[in-house]
A and B are shown apart, each in its own frame.
Chain A
Amino acid sequence: MKVLLVEDDEALASGLTLALDDAGVLVEVAGDGRSADFLVSTERYDAIILDLGLPDGNGTQWLSAWRDRGNELPVLILTARDRWSDKAAGFSAGADDYVTKPFETAEILFRLRALVRRAHGHAHPVIRVGEISLDTHSAQVTRAGMPVALTAQEFRLLSHLVHAAPRVVSRSELTEHVYDGDAEPDSNVIDVQVSRLRRKLGSHSIETLRGQGYRMLAGVQAR
């Protein structure tokens, strides 16, 4: 999962980035509304965490601008102002959820995962594809009920495939959502990680479609 964090306070941004990174979320930071605006229109994210108090205008103004342009990304608002008049303004600008400062990383993760899951059309926190299930709350993966240990990057990769299932996910989409924008992986890295996932989850769990990308297989193993 890759999110854009729009936060002008550097200490908070770096702290949150570290904490989210530990939980397997890829974070890119924008320090003000203008750079966030640029990133939103050029990069692909799964969600945006938006602080309302930005140096160049209120976060709600930027959010309404994005919504007006047809951007439907889930937006989690981060606000120090917890009066309802402020929250209501955030919602009417198009926010999907909010967390008030100060917060625990767990709270952000909880809201973020729920938003992304719902954006992909999954109502239940546990997404199942075949005998693989992914608990979006606890970030746990099980195969036929048995827990599977994954690295952070493996988890991100699988999480994206599982959320997108049964759609085919292209390699470029995976590159954008799973890996840091600055460190473009060569296609070999993806192949290697997919084969590692296959080893842990079963050879028929992920299908490679030549020239198109990858897809989770629900098929034969389902019981």
Chain B
Amino acid sequence: MAARLRRLPIATRMLVSALIMVLLVLPAAGGLLSWNFREAVNAAFDKRLESLLNVVLADVSYDARTDALVVSRALGDSRFDSVFSGWYWQVRDDGERVLASRSLWDQRLAVSQRRGLTFRTMTGPREQSLRVLERDIRLPNLNDALHVQVAADLTEVETQIASFQALLWLSLATLGSLLVALIALQVRWGLEPLRRVEKSLRAVEQGRQASVETDLPKELARLAGAINTVLERDGRLIERGRTAAGNLAHALKTPVAVLTTLAERLPQEQQQIMQAELKRLDDAVRHHLARASAAGPVALGVERKLNAVLKPVVDGINRLAVRRGLVFEERLPKNLQVRMDAQDLQEIVGNLLENAVNWAVSSVVLEASIKNSELLISVTDDGPGMSPESRQQALSRGGRLDQSKPGSGLGLSIVSELVALHEGKLQLGDRTGGGLCAQVLLPLPPAV
């Protein structure tokens, strides 16, 4: 899980974090705004109720002649006159004296027990949710305290708040989606150079380009430059190794050849010793040169057609086979693509074919196929074949099978080493009807 998280693409990371931000921050801001608005609206409403209460308080008086409460002038708002409008006032004492707005009609508001200025919310006539403000006062000519109340329907406030909230959430949602869209654009534009690097790398891997594009933002241009340097040095190193190996081979082999021809003129006994030592020298040189010249598995390699890579070898073996009176059959599939160093592949197949041509009585066959994402190359000859012991020996380092047969040298053991370098396998089997069937299995690098 942690590993998967570490490999999450950059674009996904940025989008996910932006989404989290939008989903957390915007609703929090919305909630806060909405709460503040509600508070402010409620406070303003209460203020309005308070001023209405003050008007009633200022106007109420007691007429001792009629033993009745009097409000000298009506509250300006007409809603106090229309029945059950939700706007009410009421003045009463603890006894029978009651005065109320016309809007309250035959209903009366319940009185709280508290004395001072009290706000509360209650249910009024017709299930109206009312905000009530009340206060007790004493009039100079009346013994009882008067409970003065002003009430207003909260629906108005609630509607106001609801419409504000609707607007708020709508604009927040718009803002959110706009943000997400902009972030997506930003990610796209911001990561575009990275995508170019990736595309360019793929082109290099598939051999369509020799180097990675460097026309990039400065941070990435350096990275691309570094990759190019490594690629170039890699190629140069292989090339230099091969050239050095080739030159060393040339420098060493001519003197060894001179000694070999001279040794043939020595008395039998000395000749055998000399020849054995010279052979050892030659084997060691060939063995190490083959290794030094091999590129091995390459990180970035060109994908090529197998039959095109092997054409020079196949042509050469063809000529050799004709000269030696053999039938050479090349059965390579037309469109088989491989991503492997061309010279290594030529070396492996060339040595196998050379061995087969040296031993074959009349025919040599070269075949190739893909099996379970492995490249299978098989070379079959109708020669004498090999015993299990000689197979074992051939697959071991420097195994030399038959010194009497010219040209049968390190071939198979060099193939075995090269194949191992490419993490493949060399198998030596029997051909039905006699002869050797050498099979090379090479893992194919995953397609890029």
| Mutual binders A and B | yes
Spell out A's residues near B (CB within 8 Å): 9, 11-12, 15-16, 18-19, 53, 74, 80-92, 95-97, 99-107, 110-111, 114-115, 118, 123
- B261/A105 in contact, CB under 8 A: yes
Q: Are B260 and A103 in contact (CB under 8 A)?
A: yes
Contact assessment for B347 and A107 in the assembled complex, using a CB-CB cutoff below 8 Å: no
Query: For residue B406, which residue of chain A has the nearest CB?
Result: A107
Q: Is the CB of A12 within 8 A of B254?
A: yes
Which residues of chain B are near A92, meaning CB under 8 Å? Answer: 312, 315-316
B253 within 8 A of A: yes
Given A91-B319, A92-B312, A97-B320, decide whether A84 and B257 contact each other with a Cβ distance below 8 A.
no
Q: Return the CB mask of B244-288 against A: 1 if under 8 Å, else 0.
A: 001001101110111111101100000000010010001000100
Interface residues of B in 323-375 (CB under 8 A from A): 323-325, 343, 346-347, 349-351
Number of A-B contacts (CB under 8 A): 111
Q: With contacts A105-B261, A106-B406, A118-B323 known, is A80 near B316, CB below 8 A?
A: no
Q: Whole-angstrom distance between the alpha carbons of A115 and B259 in the complex?
A: 26
CB pair B343–A91 under 8 Å, yes or no, is no
Q: Complex: how many Å from CA A106 to CA B261? A: 10
Contact partners of A12 in chain B: CB under 8 A: 254, 257-258, 261
The reply to whether B312 and A85 contact each other, CB–CB distance below 8 Å, is yes
Q: Are B315 and A105 in contact (CB under 8 A)?
A: no
Q: Does B132 make an interface contact (CB < 8 A)?
A: no
CA distance A163 to B13 in the complex (A): 82
Residue from A82, A95, A114 within 8 A of B319 (CB atoms): A95
Bound CA span A80–B251, Å: 8
Is B315 in contact with A86, judged by CB distance below 8 angstroms? Answer: no
B264 touches A105 (CB 8 A): yes
B313 near A104 (CB under 8 angstroms)?
no
On chain B, the residues within 8 Å of A86 by CB distance are: 246
From B250, B261, B323, contact of A15 by CB (8 A): B261
Report A-chain residues with C-beta under 8 Å of the C-beta of B259. 102
Q: Considering the chains assembled together, what is the distance between the CA atoms of A105 and B406 in angstroms?
A: 10
Bound state CA distance, A139 and B278, in angstroms?
A: 27
Chain A residues with CB under 8 Å of B265's CB are: 15, 18-19
Q: How far is B358's CA from A114's CA once the two chains are assembled, in angstroms?
A: 13
List B135-167 residues whose CB lies under 8 Å from chain A.
Answer: none
> What sequence of 0s and 1s flags, for each residue 282-297 of chain B, a beta carbon within 8 Å of any chain A beta carbon?
1000100010010000
| 15 more CB-based (< 8 A) A-B contacts, given A19-B264, A91-B316 | A15-B261, A53-B250, A53-B254, A80-B252, A80-B254, A84-B351, A85-B347, A87-B316, A88-B312, A88-B313, A88-B346, A100-B253, A101-B253, A104-B406, A106-B406
Does B254 lie within 8 Å of A83, measured CB to CB?
A: no
Query: 1/0 per residue B210-253: CB within 8 Å of A?
Result: 00000000000000000000000000000000100010011011
What chain B residues lie within 8 Å of A89 (beta carbons)?
Answer: 312
Min distance, Cβ B31 to any Cβ of chain A, angstroms: 75
Contacting pair B343 A83 (CB below 8 A) = yes
Give chain B residues whose Cβ lies under 8 Å from the Cβ of A123.
325
- Indicate if the CB atoms of A102 and B316 lie closer than 8 Å: no
Q: Is the CB of A9 within 8 A of B347?
A: no
Cross-chain contact A97 with B347 (CB below 8 angstroms) = no
Interface residues of B (CB under 8 A from A): 242, 246, 249-250, 252-254, 256-262, 264-265, 275, 278, 282, 286, 290, 293, 312-313, 315-316, 319-320, 323-325, 343, 346-347, 349-351, 406-407
Output the nearest chain B residue to A18 by Cβ-Cβ distance.
B265
In the complex, what's the smallest C-beta–C-beta distance from B397 to chain A, in angstroms?
17
- Complex Cα distance, B286 from A81, in Å, reads 10
- State how many angstroms separate the Cβ of A15 from the closest Cβ of chain B: 4
Chain B residues within 8 Å of A95, by CB: 319
Q: Which of A83, A90, A107, A114 contacts B407 (CB 8 A)?
A: A107
User: Which residues from B are CB-within-8-Å of A88?
Assistant: 312-313, 315-316, 346, 350
In angstroms, Cα B409 to Cα A102, docked, is 11
Q: Are B246 and A83 in contact (CB under 8 A)?
A: yes
A11 to B258, CA, bound (A): 6
Say yes or no: A83 contacts B323, CB within 8 Å: no
Task: Please measure, in the bound complex, the distance between the C-alpha atom of A103 and the C-alpha atom of B316, giving whole angstroms.
Answer: 20
- Is the beta-carbon distance between B256 and A84 smaller than 8 angstroms? no
Distance of A75 from chain B, by nearest CB (Å): 10
Least CB separation from B260: chain A residue: A102
Q: In the docked arrangement, what's the CA distance between A90 and B323, Å?
A: 15
A89 to B313, CA, bound (A): 9
Q: Contact check, B323 vs A81: say whether CB atoms are below 8 A apart.
A: no
Distance in Å: Cβ of B270 to nearest Cβ of chain A: 16
Chain A neighbourhood of B278, CB < 8 A: 102
Pick the contact of A96: B257, B275, B323, B325 (CB < 8 A). B323
Q: Which residue of A lies closest to B314 (CB)?
A: A88
Cα A53 to Cα B347 with chains together (Å): 20
Task: State A107–B279 Cα separation when bound (angstroms).
Answer: 14
A97 to B358, CA, bound (A): 12
Interface centre among B260, B278, B293, B315 (most CB of A within 10 A): B260
Q: Which of A9, A96, A111, A118 contacts B258 (CB 8 A)?
A: A9
Q: Is the CB of A101 within 8 A of B350?
A: no
Q: Can you list 24 A-B pairs, Cβ within 8 angstroms, ordered by A? A: A9-B254, A12-B261, A15-B262, A19-B264, A74-B323, A80-B249, A81-B250, A83-B246, A83-B293, A84-B316, A84-B346, A84-B349, A85-B346, A87-B316, A88-B315, A89-B312, A91-B319, A96-B319, A99-B406, A101-B253, A101-B256, A105-B264, A106-B406, A115-B323
A118 partner residues in chain B, CB cutoff 8 A: 323, 325
Shortest Cβ distance from B293 into A: residue: A83
Provide the bound-state CA to CA distance between A16 and B259, in Å.
Answer: 11
The smallest C-beta distance from B130 to any residue of chain A, in angstroms, reads 101
Bound: A115/B315 CA distance, A: 18
A92 CA / B312 CA spacing, docked (Å): 8
B324 smallest CB distance to A (angstroms):
7
Docked pose: A83 CA to B313 CA in angstroms: 11
